[in-house]
C-alpha cells in the first residue's frame, strides 16, 4: 500500500506519507504486536490460531478470532486504509506496504551491503522475550553478520581497511565466536598497520572457542596468527588510522533481585496486594518489568506520571486499556450506558454517544472500571503510584476492596507518597510492603568479572541498580569494559580508575555528561521531553521545537540509543525519572522558561488537558495565563465530578495570586469541591470571597452560598442571600432561574408556601425557555414529591415519570433512580403492582449500573413491595434483605427503616405475622420521631398485624394518625361496612 512503511529494525514505528503514526492511534500495544507478527511473515497468510498465540501468549481471550477482528479494525482505522491488513481464509496477511526488514534482506541478496547496514537496528526489540519473535530475530541477526562481513570484504578489496575494520568489528560484536568475522577484522586491522591489535583479536577468539565451545580454532585462524606474529612479515603501510572498535553498550543484566522477585510471585499467587517501595533508581521499574515478563499469567501493568497527577483518570485509563487488551470481549459485557461512559476515556471502545452529567459519568466509569478489571482477572501492576490522580486511586481502592482475590503489586517512592493514599489502600486490603535495598556485593559479581572493578562499584556507588548501570554505561562508552559471556570484562588498564571517578561523580553527573553530548535541536528536544514529565507524541515535541516532525524522529531515536529517551505506548519520555530530573535541573532559568512556554503553546494547539498547560505557563513565568488555565481545568474537573482534582487545581491557581476575576472562578470551584468533601466553613468562605465580577456571576455564586448556608447556618440569613441573588441576576435568565429555584426552596423551609410555589413556577418557565432539562426536572421533582406526600398519588406518579425522563435525557442518571423507583412505588399504591415492578426493575438496574449503593437500597425496598403485592414473597423477602444489608452498611437511617418495612410486608403477605410485627417494630425504632413518614407507616402496619391477630390496635392507630404527611396515613386500618375494620392499601 503506497505511503505506509513499517520499521521493525531499531524500534517499531509506522509511517504514513512520511509521518509517524503516533503509538496511541492504534489503541493499545496489541495492535502493534499484531502488525509486527504480520510484517515478519512478508505478506504470507498467518492463521488465526498462530496470530492469536503470538498476541496473547499467556492466556487466549474467550473469542480469539473476534478479538483479532477488533485489532485489525483498529489498525485499519489508525492507518486510514482497510487494505493495510488483508483478510484471508482463516487468517490475516499484511497488505502491500514497505517493510524495512524486506528491504534489508533484498539489499543483502543483491550484495548491496552498505545499503543494508544503513537500515540495520536491533530487530524487534519490543519482542525480545516473545517466543514468536525468537526465530525471526535470530535469522535477522545472522543476516546482519553476513552484511557486515560482505561490507568488510568489499572495503578491503576497495582499499579502505579502516571501513573494513569497522564493519568487521560490528560483525564480531554481534557474534564473537564466528571465525570468519574475526579473520576479517584481523586482516583489516593489519592492513591499517595495527598488527598487534590483529593478533590480540585472534588470541581472544582462540581463548573463547576453547572456554565456551571446547574446540580448537580452525587452520585459517592459526595460520593468520602465525603470519602476523612473524616480525619480518611485511605488513601494508597504514592507509588510514584504525578505528576505535567496541561493542555497543548493553543493558546491565537483571541481578541481585531473585529473592524480591520470588516474594512478589508468592504474593501474587496467593491473591494478595503488596507494596514495592524504593527511592528513584532503586530498581522498582526493572523488577516490575521482569515480574511481568516472567509471569505465567497475563498482567495488567500501568505507570502513573507526574504531569497527570491532577488530571482525572490518567492511571485508570492505562489500566483499563491494558485489561481490555487481554480480551476486547469484556467491553461487550458492559451495559450500553457504561460503555458510553468508558468510551470517554478509551475512544477505541465502540459506543454510541451518551448524554451524561459529570457525576453520573464518574459513577459509571467507577462501576465499569471495576467490572472490567474484575472480569479480566489479571494481577494489577502499578508503577510510580506516588503520582496517581485521586480518581484513579478511587477506582484502584474500590477494585482492591471489592475483588478480594485480585492480586496487585503497587510500586512507589515512600518519600513522595501521601500517607492518606497508603492508609486508604491498607484499609482496602492491607499493604505489606517490600522495600528494595542496595544490591549486595555478590550481585555485583554477577555483573563484572574483575575483583578490582567489583570493589570500585561496591564502594564508589550507592549500589542501586541505576547508579551501577550508569558507571558501566560510562565505561562501555569509552571501551574500558566489553561484554563477555553475560558479564562485563575489563578491556583497558585504566578501567578501574575510570569506574572510581564515575562513581565519585555520581549518577546524575553521568546523565548530565551524556546529555551534554547533544547540542542544538537535539538538546532542546531532550529538554522538552524531560520537562513534560509524561509521554509526548512526536508531533507535539516537533511543534514545540518548531521543527518538522519527520526530522524530529531521527533525533529522538538517537537520544534513545544513548539511553536518554524511550518510546512508550503513547509517545516519547525519558528513559528514567532521574534523566528527567537531571536534565530539567541542568537548565538555566531563562532556558527552562523558554521551553515551558514553547511546550504550553504546543500542548494548547494539540488540545491537551488545561491542567497540563497551566503548569507549563506557570513554569514559564506567565502567571495570568497559568491561573486562567488552572481555572478552566478546575471547572472541567468539577464538571466531571473529580472534586479532589478540582480542589488541588484551584489551590494551584490561587497560589499565583491572580486578578480578582480569575480568582473568583478558582474560589468558586474550590468552594463547590469543599462542599462535597464536607468542609462547609471553608466552602462558605470561598464562595463569599468569590462574590465579585458581573452581576449574573455574583448572583449564581450567591445562590450557591445561600443553599450552603441554609443547612449550616441561619435559614433567614440564607433567605436574605437568595433575595440578593435575585437582585443581582438582573435580566440574565440562567442566573435568575437559579436564584428563583434557591429562593423557592428556602421559602418552603420558612413556611412561605405560597411564595415558594410562585417562585418555583417562574423558575420552571425560565428553565423551559432556556432548554435546561435538568433545571426543569429539579423543579418538577420537588413538586412531584410534595404532591406525592400530600397523598395525591396519581398526580405524583405522572410527575415522577416526567422527572425521570427529563433527568435521563439530560444525562443526570444518578437522579433518575429516585423518581423512577418512587413512581413504581406509587403504582403499587394505585393497585398496579405489575407496572410498578417494571418501574422499580428499571430503577434497580440503573442503580447497579451506576454502582450506587443508596440507589440499590432505595429501589430494592420498592421492588420488594411490588413483588409482595404480586404474591411473590420469596423474591420480595430477598430484595428486602438486600436493601437492609446495603442500608446498614451505609449507615442510612431512612433506607434501613424502609427495608425493615419491606421485609415486614413480605412476611405479612406470607402469613408470618409475628415475623412481620418484629420487622415493623424495628422500622418504628429506626424512624423514631424524626422520620415522620416512615414512623407513620410502621405504626399503621403494626395496627394491621394487631387486628389480624385479634389484638387491640388503638395505640398504633393513634400513633400513625399523629405523625407524618397524608401519604403515611393511607395504610391506617379504618372502619369498613358492617362495623368491621379494614386495612389500608396495600395490605
How many Cα atoms within 13 Å fall on the side-chain side of residue 55? 33
- Residue 216, classified by CB atoms within 10 Å of its CB into exposed (0-12), middle (13-18) or buried (19+), is exposed
pLDDT in tens, 433-488: 999 999 999 999 999 988 999 999 999 999 999 999 989 988 988 888 887 777 88
CB 152 within 8 A of CB 189: no
**What's residue 985's pLDDT?**
40
pLDDT in tens, 684-724: 899 999 988 888 999 999 998 888 776 545 678 888 889 99
Find the helix or strand (DSSP H, E) in which 46 lies: strand 46-47
CB 702 within 8 A of CB 668: no
The single-letter DSSP state of residue 448 is: B
Find the helix or strand (DSSP H, E) in which 567 lies: strand 565-567
**What's residue 596's pLDDT?**
98
**What's residue 705's pLDDT?**
87
> Of 352, 419, 332, which is closest to residue 67 (Cα–Cα)?
332
Residues of the chain below pLDDT 50: 1, 232-249, 712, 976-987
Report the C-alpha gap between 39 and 98 in whole angstroms: 9
Instruction: Look up residue 408 and give its three cell numbers.
Output: 496487585
> Of 535, 653, 527, 537, which is closest to residue 598 (Cα–Cα)?
527
Report the C-alpha gap between 115 and 108 in whole angstroms: 8
Query: Distance of CA 800 to CAs 317, 745, 796, 805, 898, Å?
Result: 37, 19, 6, 9, 20
Residue 62 dihedral angles phi and psi, to the nearest 5°: -60, -35
User: Residue 603's Cα: distance from chain center in Å?
Assistant: 20
Report the C-alpha gap between 929 and 265 in whole angstroms: 57
Bridge partners of 490? 481
Instruction: Look up residue 188 and give its three cell numbers.
Output: 583489516
CA 451, 457, 459, 464 dihedral sign is negative
**What's residue 241's pLDDT?**
45
* DSSP string across 663-722: HHHHHHHHHHHHHHTT-HHHHHHHHHHT--SSHHHHHHHHHHHHHHHHHHS-HHHHHHHH
CB 354 within 8 A of CB 341: yes
Instruction: Look up residue 77 and give its three cell numbers.
Output: 482505522
**What's residue 694's pLDDT?**
84
* DSSP string across 103-165: HHHHHHHTT-HHHHHHH---BSGGGTT-HHHHHHHHHHHHHHHHHHHHHHHHHHHTT-HHHHH
Report the C-alpha gap between 379 and 268 in whole angstroms: 7
CB 319 within 8 A of CB 313: no
Report the C-alpha gap between 936 and 531 in whole angstroms: 65
Report the C-alpha gap between 738 and 704 in whole angstroms: 9
Bridge partners of 389? none
pLDDT in tens, 200-244: 889 989 988 888 888 999 999 999 999 988 854 444 444 444 444
* Buried residues in 305-327 as b, exposed as e (16+ CB within 10 A): bbbbbbbbbbbbbbbbbbbbbbb
* DSSP string across 365-392: HHHHHHHHHHHH-PPEEEE-GGG--HHH
Find the helix or strand (DSSP H, E) in which 487 lies: strand 487-490
**What's residue 710's pLDDT?**
64
* DSSP string across 492-516: STTHHHHHHHHHHH-HHHHHHHHHH
**What's residue 353's pLDDT?**
75
Residue 280 dihedral angles phi and psi, to the nearest 5°: -60, 130
Instruction: Look up residue 530 and give its three cell numbers.
Output: 524531560
The single-letter DSSP state of residue 213 is: I
CB 868 within 8 A of CB 909: yes
Residues contacting 312, CB < 8 A, separation 6+: 389, 390, 391, 392, 637, 640, 642, 645
Widest distance between CA atoms in the chain? 140
Query: Distance of CA 681 to CAs 666, 669, 674, 717, 719, Å?
Result: 17, 15, 9, 15, 18
Residues contacting 711, CB < 8 A, separation 6+: none
Residues contacting 979, CB < 8 A, separation 6+: none
129: number of Cβ within 10 Å: 12
Please give the torsion angle defined by the CA atoms of residues 845, 848, 849 and 853, in that order, rounded to the nearest 10 degrees: 140
Angle between helices 695-712 and 680-689 (to 10 degrees): 160
> Of 319, 286, 288, 296, which is closest to residue 400 (Cα–Cα)?
319
Report the C-alpha gap between 804 and 759 in whole angstroms: 22
485: number of Cβ within 10 Å: 10
Domains in the chain, ordered, with CATH? 4-133 (1.10.10.10), 159-229 (1.25.40.10), 267-349+375-380+387-429 (no CATH), 457-505 (no CATH), 609-690 (1.25.40), 775-982 (1.25.40.10)
**What's residue 330's pLDDT?**
95
Q: What angle do CA 327, 332, 333 make, to 5 degrees?
A: 95
* DSSP string across 917-986: HHHHHHHHHHHTTTSHHHHHHHHHHHHHHHHHTT---HHHHHHHHHSS-GGGGTTS-EE-GGG-EEPPSP
Residue 609 dihedral angles phi and psi, to the nearest 5°: -60, 135
Amino acid at each position: 500500500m503506497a505511503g505506509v512503511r513499517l520499521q521493525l529494525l531499531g524500534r517499531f514505528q509506522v509511517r504514513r506519507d512520511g509521518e509517524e503514526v503516533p503509538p496511541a492511534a492504534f489503541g493499545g500495544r496489541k495492535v502493534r504486536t499484531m502488525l509486527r507478527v504480520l510484517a515478519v511473515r512478508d505478506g504470507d497468510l498467518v492463521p488465526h490460531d498462530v496470530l492469536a498465540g503470538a498476541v496473547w501468549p499467556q492466556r487466549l481471550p474467550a473469542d480469539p478470532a473476534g478479538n483479532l477482528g477488533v485489532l485489525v479494525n483498529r489498525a485499519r482505522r489508525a492507518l486510514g486504509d482497510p487494505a493495510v491488513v488483508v483478510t484471508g481464509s482463516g487468517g490475516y496477511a499484511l497488505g502491500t506496504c514497505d517493510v524495512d526488514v524486506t528491504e534489508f534482506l533484498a539489499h543483502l541478496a543483491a550484495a548491496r551491503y552498505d545499503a543494508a547496514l544503513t537500515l540495520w537496528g536491533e530487530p524487534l526489540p519490543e519482542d525480545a522475550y516473545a517466543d514468536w519473535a525468537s526465530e525471526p530475530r535470530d535469522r535477522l541477526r545472522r543476516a546482519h553478520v553476513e552484511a557486515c562481513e560482505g561490507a568488510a570484504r568489499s572495503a578491503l578489496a576497495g582499499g579502505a581497511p579502516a571501513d573494513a575494520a569497522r564493519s568487521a568489528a560490528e560483525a564480531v560484536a554481534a557474534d564473537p565466536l564466528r571465525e570468519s568475522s574475526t579473520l576479517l577484522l584481523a586482516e583489516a586491522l593489519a592492513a591499517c598497520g595495527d598488527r598487534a591489535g590483529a593478533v590480540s583479536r585472534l588470541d581472544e577468539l582462540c581463548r573463547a572457542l576453547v572456554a565456551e565451545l571446547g574446540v580448537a580454532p580452525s587452520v585459517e585462524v592459526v595460520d593468520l596468527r602465525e603470519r602476523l606474529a612473524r616480525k619480518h612479515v611485511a605488513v601494508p603501510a597504514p592507509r588510514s588510522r584504525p578505528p576505535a572498535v567496541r561493542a555497543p553498550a548493553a543493558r546491565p543484566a537483571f541481578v541481585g533481585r531473585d529473592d524480591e522477585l520470588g516474594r512478589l510471585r508468592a504474593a501474587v499467587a496467593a491473591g494478595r496486594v503488596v507494596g514495592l517501595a524504593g527511592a528513584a533508581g532503586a530498581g522498582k521499574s526493572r523488577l516490575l518489568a521482569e515480574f511481568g515478563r516472567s509471569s505465567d499469567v497475563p498482567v495488567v501493568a500501568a505507570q502513573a506520571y507526574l504531569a497527570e497527577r491532577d488530571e482525572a483518570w490518567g492511571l485508570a485509563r492505562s489500566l483499563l486499556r491494558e485489561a481490555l487488551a487481554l480480551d476486547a470481549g469484556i467491553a461487550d459485557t458492559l451495559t450500553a450506558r457504561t460503555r458510553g461512559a468508558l468510551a470517554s476515556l478509551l475512544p477505541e471502545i465502540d459506543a454510541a454517544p451518551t448524554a451524561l452529567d459529570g457525576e453520573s459519568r464518574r459513577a459509571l466509569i467507577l462501576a465499569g472500571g471495576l467490572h472490567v478489571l474484575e472480569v479480566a482477572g489479571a494481577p494489577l501492576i502499578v508503577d510510580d503510584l506516588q503520582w496517581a490522580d485521586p480518581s484513579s486511586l478511587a477506582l484502584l481502592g474500590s477494585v482492591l476492596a471489592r475483588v478480594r482475590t485480585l492480586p496487585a503489586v503497587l510500586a512507589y517512592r515512600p518519600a513522595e507518597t501521601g500517607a492518606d493514599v497508603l492508609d486508604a489502600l491498607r484499609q482496602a486490603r492491607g499493604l505489606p510492603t517490600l522495600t528494595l535495598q542496595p544490591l549486595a556485593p555478590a550481585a555485583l559479581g554477577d555483573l563484572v568479572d574483575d575483583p578490582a572493578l567489583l570493589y570500585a562499584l561496591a564502594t564508589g556507588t550507592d549500589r542501586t541498580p541505576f547508579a551501577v548501570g550508569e558507571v558501566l554505561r560510562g565505561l562501555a562508552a569509552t571501551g574500558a569494559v566489553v561484554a563477555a559471556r553475560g558479564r562485563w570484562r575489563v578491556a583497558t588498564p585504566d578501567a578501574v580508575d575510570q569506574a572510581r571517578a564515575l562513581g565519585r561523580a555520581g549518577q546524575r553527573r553521568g546523565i548530565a555528561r551524556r546529555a551534554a553530548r547533544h547540542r542544538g535541536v537535539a538538546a532542546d528536544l531532550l529538554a522538552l521531553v524531560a520537562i513534560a514529565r509524561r509521554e509526548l507524541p512526536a508531533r507535539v515535541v516537533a511543534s514545540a521545537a518548531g521543527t518538522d516532525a519527520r526530522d524530529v524522529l531521527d533525533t529522538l531515536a538517537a537520544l534513545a540509543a544513548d539511553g536518554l529517551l524511550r518510546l512508550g505506548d503513547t509517545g516519547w519520555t525519558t528513559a528514567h525519572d532521574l534523566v528527567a530530573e537531571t536534565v530539567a535541573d541542568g537548565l538555566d532559568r531563562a532556558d527552562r522558561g523558554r521551553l515551558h512556554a514553547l511546550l504550553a503553546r504546543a500542548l494548547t494547539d494539540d488540545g491537551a488537558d488545561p491542567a497540563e498547560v497551566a503548569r507549563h505557563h506557570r513554569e514559564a513565568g506567565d502567571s495570568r495565563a497559568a491561573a486562567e488555565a488552572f481555572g478552566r481545568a478546575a471547572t472541567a474537573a468539577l464538571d466531571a465530578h473529580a472534586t479532589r482534582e478540582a480542589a488541588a487545581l484551584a489551590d494551584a491557581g490561587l497560589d499565583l495570586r491572580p486578578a480578582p476575576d480569575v480568582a473568583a472562578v478558582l474560589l468558586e470551584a474550590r468552594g463547590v469541591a469543599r462542599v462535597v468533601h464536607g468542609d462547609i466553613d471553608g466552602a462558605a468562605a470561598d464562595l463569599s470571597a468569590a462574590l465579585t465580577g458581573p452581576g449574573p456571576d455574583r448572583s449564581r455564586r450567591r445562590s450557591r452560598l445561600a443553599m450552603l448556608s441554609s443547612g449550616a447556618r441561619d435559614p433567614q440569613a440564607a433567605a436574605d442571600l437568595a433575595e440578593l441573588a435575585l437582585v443581582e441576576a438582573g435580566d440574565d435568565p440562567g442566573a435568575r432561574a437559579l436564584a428563583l429555584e434557591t429562593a423557592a426552596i428556602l421559602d418552603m423551609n420558612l413556611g412561605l408556601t405560597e411564595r415558594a410555589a410562585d417562585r418555583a413556577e417562574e423558575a420552571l418557565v425560565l428553565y423551559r425557555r432556556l432548554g435546561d432539562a435538568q433545571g426543569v426536572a429539579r423543579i418538577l421533582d420537588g413538586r412531584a414529591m410534595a404532591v406525592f406526600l400530600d397523598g395525591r398519588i396519581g398526580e405524583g406518579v405522572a410527575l415522577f415519570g416526567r422527572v425521570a425522563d427529563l433527568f435521563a435525557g439530560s444525562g443526570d442518571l444518578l437522579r433518575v433512580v429516585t423518581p423512577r423507583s418512587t413512581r413504581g412505588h406509587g403504582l403499587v399504591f394505585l393497585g398496579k403492582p405489575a407496572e410498578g415492578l417494571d418501574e422499580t426493575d428499571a430503577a434497580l438496574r440503573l442503580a447497579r449500573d451506576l454502582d450506587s449503593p443508596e440507589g440499590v437500597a432505595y429501589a430494592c425496598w420498592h421492588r420488594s413491595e411490588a413483588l409482595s403485592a404480586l404474591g411473590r414473597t420469596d423474591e420480595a423477602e430477598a430484595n428486602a434483605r438486600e436493601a437492609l444489608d446495603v442500608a446498614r452498611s451505609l449507615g442510612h437511617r431512612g433506607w434501613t427503616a424502609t427495608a425493615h418495612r419491606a421485609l415486614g410486608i413480605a412476611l405479612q403477605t406470607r402469613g408470618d405475622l409475628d415475623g412481620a410485627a418484629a420487622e415493623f417494630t424495628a422500622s418504628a425504632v429506626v424512624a423514631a420521631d424524626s422520620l415522620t413518614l416512615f414512623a407513620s407507616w410502621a405504626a399503621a402496619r403494626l395496627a394491621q398485624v394487631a387486628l389480624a391477630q385479634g389484638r387491640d390496635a388503638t395505640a398504633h392507630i393513634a400513633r400513625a394518625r399523629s405523625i407524618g404527611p397524608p401519604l403515611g396515613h393511607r395504610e391506617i386500618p379504618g372502619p369498613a361496612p358492617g362495623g368491621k375494620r379494614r386495612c389500608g392499601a396495600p395490605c
